[in-house]
Structure 1
């Protein structure tokens, strides 16, 4: 009996360590990717209003909840969308399989409110998963923990209304687990992006339970931290990482604070709204590149969102912007992918990343003719040059040094200057 107990304990510890290692390696690979595509999409694109949030606001509940009967994106092509992501230099893709409105983009055995009962009928999640696997893009799934449509979730609107006394939260969580098992089993996502945990019916205990459940189903799966209340979010607050339920933090519509100890991912919209909106104002190329550079410079990932139109296509102007980002990354990608943030803290005019013996300085103020930086401790700069371009001269001073930037770079898109050092850049301290 004693030997059996000892064997069982060894088996449990060995498996726990294997799971923890798988999770750690998966998270490291994910963070090395640095850049991914977010897709917010569903029947609401027929109205051009925000997904989830416009229900019971801009769009009446009965109208919103009936949109799926008209949803027929006949021009949706998963391989085309994944190619857009690939050409943009994105390494992973996250689709809103179920947003706050409860509609499912996959054929779920546990609800009729899904893609099967639309005129389109085809499994959108499966199509994107297959296209991602072919293109070597990590496939990830967004899943809201709140569902204003489901009768067992206590809240049925984004508005502050009384909780439904007929709701049944344990029954709803069982429904969630069934759907999550369906998603993990059928599509094998690399990552799950949860959302909606701020509402009162949801507790940290529920979040911990779901986190443990998905890790049991797939030990190497990673999740963001929106199963629990602790997150940077739109306020970009400093979080207590010991209270986070999940594997990384999620600042929203803002570049996260520099953090070399805990992973994070900022999510941004390429326009203003998450889901498609006609004539929505789009971010400039310089703005997109600056966001990417500052995010990598703070040691985080960027999840950049697009919203397909009702027919399933991404707008041509958004595709063009993404292609421009991809063209920039063809020259400057080595300053983004697989790098660490720093050693200098990101500023409004520059950000820095590093790898091996190189420090990459992302110049965001392109009209500058010089830039002064503090000396790197115990390191000598062997040479400096524009990535993919000309040499850069340096004048050292006692506590800092000056880079003289090429005039031909002025007023162009943000660019990168490389400093090659006489030793590793990766163990340098953060310089404020």
Structure 2
């Protein structure tokens, strides 16, 4: 009788917590999200016995029931017994959290159980955990204590997917639900304050899970916790659908784009989770000695791009089997911390906007301060759209003196190339009042609005290098200012190649000042724009690591120490090279070259 009463009481408490989830007001959610929105930068840690062999955590294991295939190169029997060798004697939780603090990170998220089912904490619900390794110590306990001691927000990653557990997705998933919800209860009950619950997708169908019970328990145990959007995000399309109330409850507090910078989005919260290690197979979450650590510049630009786009960055490290973080990753984190110590005012506590981000960079703001983060300039110039507020002051935080002009058409910023930071030029604009509106359109004014660019000089030009041309007359395809021809809207397509290219012939030498290319995007490619007077000797005028849907670049040359629009051009070449030597193709919708006859 007593057990029945206790169960009824617990059920009632969970239902109350569940109801509170649905009843939360916007003001209450904003208050709960405030610290996270201000934090901007967190540390993600993927670690486990797989580090012993230097292969991708979970995904290298043979056997992924009801899931993506992955590599599957290590037999399950071998993988599942790696824990018997796991003895990271150089692990020091205080050193890890000191590093996070030094890097300027405000929160940490630790892998407690990945898809392989191994628990990095002391759990009473399975013997497959770190207590039964030679190391024995509860690393989650030590990391939680170290994080709390330093004022870092603490988050736990838990994978609902479990390729090791014998009851996973069997017999209605009843036993497995009890198991994994029990482990979540342990994590939220035994490690002090938990600020983030980070799930990583589910498999099966809605009917296989008791999400109402799970989410009610989470809110009951940690009322102020943030939950990402993957707690009930299914790997494959389900056979059934949730009720609207359930869908709302499990939607989570923020989106989690993976291995990519989230799109500009200020209406809802997001956090890009990205690795510092890049691998050919797309992994690099756990320790991968075959991978390459990205450089400091890319780390900083990735963080800035997330912030100006309205999101956060959760940057991942994969510690070694010794318990140490790789030296080059340690160095990156320390240098990021030094950068943030100088320029943190242009990152922490800001919001994305008021201008939409682009290849040129982006903006963020706080009160009456707007911070321009500029990656690429048009020579010495940056032209932005109009702003309702009046600019009353400008300061180049990275050094130098900018000339800022504001008109009804927009804002023009001029900064000599010698004063432009090679990683991120930061300019603080002071307004006469706080930002009132975030723009929904691209921030940079088009080249057609740039007086220095002149007019379109490519009408009647010819294209070579493709296989499907809009105009089959002659040897090439004519370029038209506003035409959208056939072939799926593409003016020209190239054959699939490891280095496809397109050459545009203006017919005679002209003074080119800029180029606008509309194309099908290509990611992870070395893209260059080159110009030539004779078709033999080429000068590169622009480079990028991807091809975006709309790419505008000034064609400049150095005069008296300044980049000035204008270069003698008859031929313009666009080329894309695949770094992995995989065939790719160019598909151009529209090309405009600006200049003077």
TM-score computed with the length of structure 1 as normaliser: 0.87
Match of 1:309, SS state, is: coil
| C-alpha distance after superposition, 1:152-173 (max 9, x if no partner) | 103xxxxxxxxxx5x5511111
Separation of aligned partners in 1, 2:377 and 2:324 = 34
Shift of 1:365: 2.2
**For the structure 1 residues 65 and 352, does the alpha-carbon distance in structure 2 shift closer, same or farther, using more than 3 Å as the test?**
same
1:282 is aligned to 2:312 = no
Shift of 1:413: 2.1
Shift of 1:397: 3.9
**Contact 1:352–1:362 (8 Å) recurs in 2:** yes
Separation of aligned partners in 2, 1:429 and 1:201 = 39
Residue equivalent to 2:329 = 318
- Higher share in helix: 1
2:227 to 211, 223, 227: 223
**Contact 1:100–1:196 (8 Å) recurs in 2:** no
Separation of aligned partners in 2, 1:409 and 1:327 = 20
Mean Cα displacement is larger for which, 108-117 or 394-403?
A: 394-403
Residue equivalent to 1:161 = none
1:353 is aligned to 2:356 = no
Residue equivalent to 1:428 = 437
- Higher share in strand: 2
Separation of aligned partners in 1, 2:98 and 2:213 = 36
Separation of aligned partners in 2, 1:202 and 1:195 = 16
**For the structure 1 residues 250 and 208, does the alpha-carbon distance in structure 2 shift closer, same or farther, using more than 3 Å as the test?**
farther
Residue equivalent to 2:470 = none
Residue equivalent to 1:113 = 128
Match of 2:144, SS state, is: helix
Separation of aligned partners in 1, 2:382 and 2:24 = 46
- 5 Å matches for 1:10-409? 16=20, 24-56=30-62, 57-154=72-169, 167=171, 169-187=173-191, 188-197=193-202, 199-201=203-205, 206-229=210-233, 245-272=251-278, 273-365=284-376, 368-377=379-388, 379-387=389-397, 389-409=399-419
Q: Which runs of 5+ in 1 are unaligned?
A: 1-7, 155-164, 232-239
Shift of 1:77: 0.5
**Contact 1:230–1:244 (8 Å) recurs in 2:** no
Separation of aligned partners in 1, 2:84 and 2:399 = 54
**For the structure 1 residues 380 and 327, does the alpha-carbon distance in structure 2 shift closer, same or farther, using more than 3 Å as the test?**
same
| C-alpha distance after superposition, 1:219-246 (max 9, x if no partner) | 1111101012279xxxxxxxx9958521
**For the structure 1 residues 350 and 112, does the alpha-carbon distance in structure 2 shift closer, same or farther, using more than 3 Å as the test?**
same
Shift of 1:63: 0.6
Separation of aligned partners in 2, 1:204 and 1:420 = 54
**Contact 1:49–1:275 (8 Å) recurs in 2:** yes
Match of 2:277, SS state, is: coil
Separation of aligned partners in 2, 1:424 and 1:324 = 32
Superposition CA RMSD, Å: 2.5
Shift of 1:356: 0.9
**Contact 2:201–2:232 (8 Å) recurs in 1:** no
TM-score computed with the length of structure 2 as normaliser: 0.63
Match of 2:198, SS state, is: strand
Separation of aligned partners in 2, 1:330 and 1:203 = 49
Separation of aligned partners in 1, 2:32 and 2:408 = 43
Shift of 1:401: 2.3
